[in-house]
Amino acid sequence: MQSGRLVIRDFAQIREASIAFRDLTVLVGAQGTGKSLVLQWLKAAIDGKYIVKTLREAGQEVSTKTLIDQIFGAGMRPAWRETSEVTFDDKAISPSTIERRGNGVEQLFFIPAHRSMLISDGWAIPFQKLTADTPVVARLFSQNLFERFNAREGARLFPLDRTLKKVYRQLVDTAVFHGGTVGVKQNDQLTKRLRLRFKGTKNTSLPFMTWTAGQREFTPLLLGLYHLLPPRKKKKDDNIDWVVVEEPEMGLHPQAVTVFMLLALDLLWRGYRVVLSTHSPIVITAIWALQRLAAHQASYQLVCDAFSVPKQHRPSLRPVAEAALEKSYATYVLAYARDNQVTATDISSLDPGADDDAVSGWGGLAGFSSQLAESVRRAVNSAPVGSPS
């Protein structure tokens, strides 16, 4: 597995981003700071040959001039300038060398943001049906969903007894599906579509667009995770070493975000290197807690407590929790400087007492609640005697 340092200079709005990936790495930052661009460059650095091969198999002409558009989406070509530089593990990457990156087999599995948009009328859109405006990572993920929907196992997608541990199934059901089962079902027009079914309500079967936003976002995320959970006794996919998940919190209640983070720890235990981008304080709080628990040599039971694992299931998750205490974690914030260009800063300590506001404020994710609390404190202190506190 690569050691994992990606450096990007002068690409689109990014002036410089140097990211040293650990077992679990999180990118934070305001909208439009280039988190997706960093993660897509990571995909190109590891799977360039696989990307080009897939594009050609889909009947697309690939050249040095078109590749930036084909990877990042139509219109992105000007983002690569004469001064642009990208390196991964000190090896330079450019539009002319991307095709030589990797071994032609997918080694990084990418679950993009806005994944629910890849499902149209309850059916995943195949690679070739998505236009060139769509970044290649989204097209690849949509094809993965398309193949899963078409597989024999598509009739029942949740819960899957042999894919997810019982504790995960229960936590996901409580947080997201509330007794519902997800699967592909043929409708009255003899067309197969994704449905959410509930027993006890005359077998209510709901079409995809009637689901809650959280259910629509979590389902493709969960199906993507299935790809990383091989059957039988294998812990991980032999080819895939990296997993990227963009904004896992989209549409989700905090309880469901916590369940996802527990699933991310399961991926770490399996031997994957995990990379997340997020706007959720809960994700960063989970990383901070794991670092603090590890620093204090906490027991695996406290990890289970932190992620609300029921007591009867804690022994089965002991290997996952103990592995989480031994893994390495990194957090980076991407932010605009005064020249309107983005730089990346390592805030991995997540120390609330740090002098650097980027570190103590967790890249801005903790700062907003602090500002609100400070305003309330000042109002209480200045209010007339007898006013409600």
Q: Phi first, then psi: what are they for 91, rounded to 5°?
A: -105, 125
Mean pLDDT of 324-342: 96
Assess if residue 309 is contained within a domain.
yes
SS (H, E, C) the chain: CCCCEEEEEEECCEEEEEEECCCEEEEEECCCCCHHHHHHHHHHHHHHHHHHHHHHHCCCCCCCCCHHHHHHCCCCHHHEEEEEEEEECCEEECCCCHHHCCCCCCCEEEECCCHHHHEECCEECCHHHCCCCCCHHHHHHHHHHHHHHHCHHHHCCECCCCCCCHHHHHHHHHHHHCCCEEEEEECCCCCEEEEEEECCCCCEEEEHHHCCHHHHHHHHHHHHHHCCCCCCCCCCCCCCCEEEEECCCCCCCHHHHHHHHHHHHHHHHHCCEEEEECCCHHHHHHHHHHHHHHHCCCCHHHHHHHCCCCHHHCHHHHHHHHHHHHCCEEEEEEEECCCCCEEEEECCCCCCCCCCHHHHCHHHCCHHHHHHHHHHHHHHHHCCCCCCC
Assess if residue 336 is contained within a domain.
yes
Domain CATH number, residue 126: 3.40.50
Out of 211-220, 274-283, 328-337, 353-362, pick the least confident.
353-362
Q: Where residue 387 falls among pLDDT bands split at 50, 70, 90?
A: low
Q: Where residue 191 falls among pLDDT bands split at 50, 70, 90?
A: confident
Instruction: State how far the Cα of 344 lies from the Cα of 7, in Å rounded to an integer.
Output: 10
Assess if residue 272 is contained within a domain.
yes
User: What digits encode the pLDDT tens for the residues 116-156?
Assistant: 999 999 999 999 999 989 999 999 999 999 999 988 766 88
| pLDDT score recorded for residue 382 | 75
Name the average pLDDT for the chain: 92
Q: Phi first, then psi: what are they for 108, rounded to 5°?
A: -125, 120
Mean pLDDT of 266-293: 97
- Model confidence, pTM: 0.93
Task: Specify whether the backbone of 364 is left (phi greater than 0), alpha (psi in -120 to 50) or beta.
Answer: left
Assess if residue 346 is contained within a domain.
yes
Assess if residue 80 is contained within a domain.
yes
Domain count, the chain: 1
Residue whose token pair is 């700071």: 33
Q: Which domain holds residue 67?
A: 5-134+237-350
User: What digits encode the pLDDT tens for the residues 18-34?
Assistant: 999 999 999 999 999 99
Assess if residue 363 is contained within a domain.
no
Mean pLDDT of 147-171: 88
Mean pLDDT of 220-247: 93
Out of 36-45, 127-136, 365-374, pick the least confident.
365-374
